[in-house]
Structure 1
């Protein structure tokens, strides 16, 4: 069944142009209007997340699987996919060439409830890109964002907001997006060589604390950047981070569950994130809030990295929130999970 609209969302039946196809450049979104209360709250949020990272530095001593690939429909492509587009995106202009003449679509590298992702290559220079296809269904969610007269499908809207300056090296960048009669296609940067953070954790169980600290710093900064841009990712977990294999650089991906940041919170009955990372208030309260949820998910992520397993297996364990550390090699002092957990009271 279709979820009811969330804060800032507008249900919309996508329209088709006269030629049956609409292409869009990644046009910059204007900053959302903020009340003074929201500004002070957001400023406090950012300060808290910075304190989380400082605490992390001090205390750390130092799946979803692919299915069959369907046919990629031709669409109007961009003339260029610069990895660092002009700030005003003036160079992004559609042309009448076919997608097949400019891009080669490779194997599917990921899939889920919000689309399929393929390797792609720009033919004229061989540059790799990631091509995500989102089918148009009755469950598509749309958002109204400043600078756009029509509501945009959620992932496009939020990625456009994330393109506002300053940009973050820890968040995936959208290059272009296109609308087809039956789907949306997003062309994004593709870190190479990369793997999901989940795959990295599986290959490296019970990470040492210095490595976990490097990864955790980037995850915190990615989440902080989302908050500063008025975006609640709402699905932070190990599979939604790409890691560059040779540098351990992270990229937060998949904004399909995301929402506009709201000081009023969100209805618990329509929580969209991964259940293993679900905060206890989703089960105990009628509403949950973005920042406490982010803090909780970061704690779960860190636990998984250093213990090679999830801290909670079901709803009861989540609501009881009793953490048992299985890695005997961890530091014995105050650990960062306690810091993150205690932070819940500071930001609610």
Structure 2
């Protein structure tokens, strides 16, 4: 850490403690003299990464972050590249959505509605710009100091603009949030897979548990093929259950896009 820390200190950043660890990165809290605010710095040590990540996923993440601007997408102030590291200078967040749910057991439908609409609007922005996130999950949704949800972690994101076929074959993300067609292998529509993951996020927010057990893939696929079950407590409104069932449709062709989800009756109340 001495190399990037010294360099960042020269650039006017006061480096603080580690606030997060991911598969490919470490996130530290810092203070920016230039911005006069607390920030977060995502540090990727290239010497510790596999070639596939360095040649495919990291360049995509850099490109996508450089072009995205939305109030519910984590803001990146600067991207610094060197031979040894890639540094993302980002806005600071207080916690992720999973930690919030874990601390409360579950979120009320009213609180969920406020968060979920903003998350869905951010995903709608991605899709309108031909970008599939491919790793939507509660752990990748941060909450700012003023309680605004922000989608982050774009390591698996991909831009489909200009491609002849809107399909992927790479398995990305967490199995518990992955759509049936992703788990089954073969080609899949990454935008419809994002929508499924969004449905899992919604289910987890209002119930405090995942809709399908995160175990062996064969068992997970079996559970996904069965009618969706809701726990007896908390009691959910028919409208909320209807929305979740609509999103978690096993048939990707019948699964709604994000724009249709935002227009659902649940958001008209």
TM-score (normalised: structure 2):
0.81
- How far 1:288 moved relative to its partner? 1.5
Contact 1:175–1:189, Cα closer than 8 Å, also in 2: yes
Match of 1:63 in 2: none
Q: Higher relative contact order by CA 8 Å / sep ≥ 6: 1 or 2?
A: 1
**Unmatched 5+ stretches in structure 1:** 1-69, 76-97, 144-150
Distance in 2 (CA, whole Å) between partners of 1:310 and 1:229 is 29
Distance in 1 (CA, whole Å) between partners of 2:117 and 2:195 is 13
Query: Out of 198, 221, 236, which is 1:318 matched to?
Result: 221
Query: Out of 230, 234, 256, which is 2:134 matched to?
Result: 234
Query: Out of 119, 122, 127, which is 2:37 matched to?
Result: 127
User: Aligned ranges for residues 239-250 of structure 1 at < 5 Å?
Assistant: 239-244=139-144, 247-250=146-149
Contact 1:129–1:188, Cα closer than 8 Å, also in 2: yes
Contact 1:103–1:120, Cα closer than 8 Å, also in 2: yes
Query: Out of 244, 253, 256, which is 1:345 matched to?
Result: 253
Match of 2:243 in 1: 336
Match of 1:99 in 2: 8
TM-score (normalised: structure 1):
0.64
User: Aligned ranges for residues 32-111 of structure 1 at < 5 Å?
Assistant: 70-73=1-4, 98-101=7-10, 102-111=12-21
SS of alignment partner, residue 271 of structure 1: coil
User: Aligned ranges for residues 1-348 of structure 1 at < 5 Å?
Assistant: 70-73=1-4, 98-101=7-10, 102-123=12-33, 126-136=36-46, 137=49, 138-142=51-55, 153-162=59-68, 167-191=69-93, 194-244=94-144, 247-261=146-160, 263-267=165-169, 270-313=170-213, 314=215, 315=217, 316-321=219-224, 322=226, 323-326=228-231, 327-333=233-239, 334-342=241-249, 344-346=252-254
CA 1:124–1:161 in 2, change beyond 3 Å: closer, same or farther?
closer
SS of alignment partner, residue 254 of structure 1: coil
CA 1:332–1:264 in 2, change beyond 3 Å: closer, same or farther?
closer
Distance in 2 (CA, whole Å) between partners of 1:219 and 1:125 is 26
**Unmatched 5+ stretches in structure 2:** 257-269
- How far 1:347 moved relative to its partner? 5.7
CA 1:100–1:318 in 2, change beyond 3 Å: closer, same or farther?
same
Distance in 1 (CA, whole Å) between partners of 2:158 and 2:180 is 19
Q: How many correspondences in the alignment?
A: 241
Larger Rg: 1
Contact 1:292–1:344, Cα closer than 8 Å, also in 2: yes
Contact 2:166–2:190, Cα closer than 8 Å, also in 1: no
